[in-house]
Chains A and B, each alone.
Chain A
Amino acid sequence: MTATTAIVGLGITDMGKIYDRSGADFAAEAVTQAVADAGLRKSDIDGLLVNGNLWPESQPTLQMTLGLEDLTLCSAMTAAGSTAGQLIQYATMAIEHGLASAIVLLFADVPLKRGVGSGAAYNMLDFWPMTGMSGLRLAWGEFGANPSYALAARRHMHLFGTTSDHFAAIAIGQRRWALMNPKAQIRKPLTLDEYHASRWVVEPLHLFDCCLVSNGAVAFVITSSERAADLRQPPVYVAGYGQGHPGDNQRRGRDPGVHTGAALSGPLALRSAGAALSDIDFLELYDCYTYTVLVTLEDYGFCAKGEGGEFVSDGKLAPGGSLPTNTGGGQLSSYYMWGFTPMSEAVIQMRGQAGDRQVPRNDLCLVSTQGGILNFHSTTILSKSR
């Protein structure tokens, strides 16, 4: 397939425990940066797609907040953490069909409040519905998203002998990448001892198995491949994509926590890109937990189901390894902007602008965005050439 669109603009704000700025302020900075980065002006933008999230203003009304006028495409979309892929796909199809020509994709969030821990930011007490059987979740002591990933990880450990050391290999490898990323929230080395000594969040997940929580924003500009050739930055072409949403099959005979939608979305994306798994130079995988990386690698077919632990344990994902993965530190060590974390790092690497952490080969990248409790999955293949 010849790529019809390219990511041409990128904006990333400062990230992390920044309490004195509003979500709108972060959003405006990221969008302004992304449009300037592309070499475009505000008046060139005719589309806005917002990643709907827990921030109440993540709505199409951001058009007014940002002062964008006469758009011909505007929506907020959500498929939980997988949304970044869907936004790129929808934008690409919209551009192919002439609905818009230069579209801003935006993620902004401000879950952290001064004096409140990161865990509390997502513990659901403020918003989880207590009516009917939905209310059983908190009544039965399941607070936040951590337990469901811990339960999935434990199941994988039980079935396949996966260990904490396997998870640690992912956490430590990604931290090594983060040391070279000026935007990373955590830039200090992580040892295996420190990993094991870190507190349990929800056993079997240690603190360093869990992603950060960040205030901040990321924006992209996407346009047609023709137009991209004349803009400021090296175009990052959207070469292929696919989605996979297995459904709620938490019942006998199914193991939803150890099989993700990547098994569906990966082959679709590779086929649309006309590429094979072996053509992929580096990976940016959604990593809300170390376990997510491990199970996603299996479902793409980099190794067989159940062998993810062994596969990652030789450090091949880390700097210098044969399969560079989450090369900015990922959500575990850089910043947590849902699917915009892997997608933003992919754009930086594809452009060759990653500085000390630049991967040796960057012709083709696979970006995986994932949401819910391993419920929703989207795969995007980015290419340096059309």
Chain B
Amino acid sequence: MAINPNGRPVPLPDDASAPFFDGARRGELMLQACGACGAWMWPVKPRCVECWSDSVHWRRASGRASVYSFAVMHGDFPGFVSPYVLATVETEEGVRFTTDLAGISPDQVHIGMPLTMVTEQLTPEVAIPGFRPVPA
């Protein structure tokens, strides 16, 4: 497994996911959407999960999201300092995934908390989206 200097696991972008990782580097959250019915998807899907259309393409999402649920990790995990917050986030487009919320202490996070995407540069080559609270 590739790790960065902090020991954090680093994903290996492939052809199918390149638009997502390229977007993260630019500060953009790229998601797949269906050209036929407009459904947004997570993660890479072979066809639209709603209507089975094959016209699935990458679109820039707003990068805005909110906390759907959260949990606090305790223990020894590579590249993370415990305790740290994990959150299932729901993007403005309605898809959900689970990400860490760096820099948020467990007693600050709450369900519904608005978030915005930032670039998280793991290595010189690989960036992923990160999420931060929207400044009040």
Contacts and interface: CB of A to CB of B under 8 A. Distances in A.
Interface of A: 119, 123, 125, 130-143, 147-148, 150-152, 154-155, 158, 199-205, 248, 250-253, 257
Interface string B113-128: 0000000001000001
Nearest to B87: A151
B71 A154 contact: yes
A131 B96 contact: no
Given A136-B43, A140-B86, A252-B90, 7 more contacts: A119-B75, A136-B128, A139-B9, A141-B80, A142-B86, A142-B100, A202-B73
Contacts of B100: 140-142
9 contacts: A123-B77, A132-B12, A132-B43, A139-B122, A151-B87, A204-B71, A250-B97, A251-B90, A252-B94
B69 A133 contact: no
A257 B90 CA distance: 14
Contact of B10 (A132, A139, A158): A139
B136 interface: no
Given A201-B74, A201-B75, A252-B94, A135 B9 contact: yes
Contacts of A119: 75
A130 B12 contact: yes
B17 A132 contact: yes
Nearest to A258: B69
A281 to B, nearest CB: 35
B106 interface: yes
Task: Please provide the 5 A-B residue pairs with the shortest distance between their CB atoms, ordered closest to farther.
Answer: A135-B11, A252-B94, A150-B71, A133-B43, A203-B72
A200 B74 contact: yes
Nearest to B14: A132
B69 A147 contact: no
A155 B75 contact: no
A141 B84 contact: yes
B106 A158 contact: no
Interface in B28-52: 40, 42-44, 49
Contact of B86 (A130, A135, A139, A151): A151
A253 B69 contact: no
A251 B79 CA distance: 28
A137 B100 CA distance: 10
A251 B86 contact: no
B12 A141 contact: no
B61 to A, nearest CB: 13
Nearest to A142: B98
Contact of A251 (B13, B17, B95, B98): B95
Contacts of B99: 136, 140-141
A141 B73 contact: yes
A380 B23 CA distance: 47
A250 B88 contact: yes
Contacts of A132: 11-14, 16-17, 43-44
A161 B42 CA distance: 29
B10 A140 contact: no
Contacts of A133: 11, 17, 20, 43-44
A135 B10 contact: yes
